[in-house]
Homo-oligomer: A and B are copies of this chain.
Amino acid sequence: MRKASFADMNCSVAQSLEIIGEWWTLLILRDCFLGFRRFDDFVERLGISRNILTNRLDTLVGGGLLERRPYDEARNRYDYVLTDKGRALWPVLTALRQWGDEWILGAGNEPILLEHRDHGHTTTAHMACDVCGEALDARSVRAVPGPGATP
């Protein structure tokens, strides 16, 4: 029932939640970004049941976010590796992590920080305008109908 109503919505947020809206899914992706790629790694780090994990990984592979790469074909074992589509979720996870850092854990309690590789500085990320480069927030923009708007 949920799935049907989400799939019917002409909205990219709803469509995205079709794939990554389950609680565990974003945490599996988080661990992929941190470099983990094996079934047993996810089980150990997430404390997730093997059944649920299998189901979530199938969804992520089916949705094209993760790719299965055999590392031991005889035993049918796979690495799960981010695809371009999966890696493109990095801004979502980063924004979510930073929101939790600021509003839940609080400054000074961040479990993880970002280092900008080329420069070596520790940083946080903000949303910036593709056109003029200015920082963007909820008040600096307004939503307007796009080419795919429902008439």
Contacts and interface: CB of A to CB of B under 8 A. Distances in A.
Interface of A: 2, 5-6, 9-19, 21, 23, 26-27, 30, 33-34, 46-47, 64, 82, 85, 87-105, 108-119, 121-150
How many protomers of this protein does the assembly include? Answer: 2
A10 B121 CA distance: 23
A69 B34 CA distance: 42
Nearest to A103: B85
Given A92-B99, A112-B145, A144-B115, A128 B127 contact: yes
Contact of A98 (B12, B47, B113, B118): B12
Nearest to A105: B12
A5 B137 CA distance: 32
B130 A124 contact: yes
A3 to B, nearest CB: 10
A2 to B, nearest CB: 6
B96 A12 contact: yes
B17 A26 contact: yes
Contact of A12 (B34, B82, B99, B139): B99
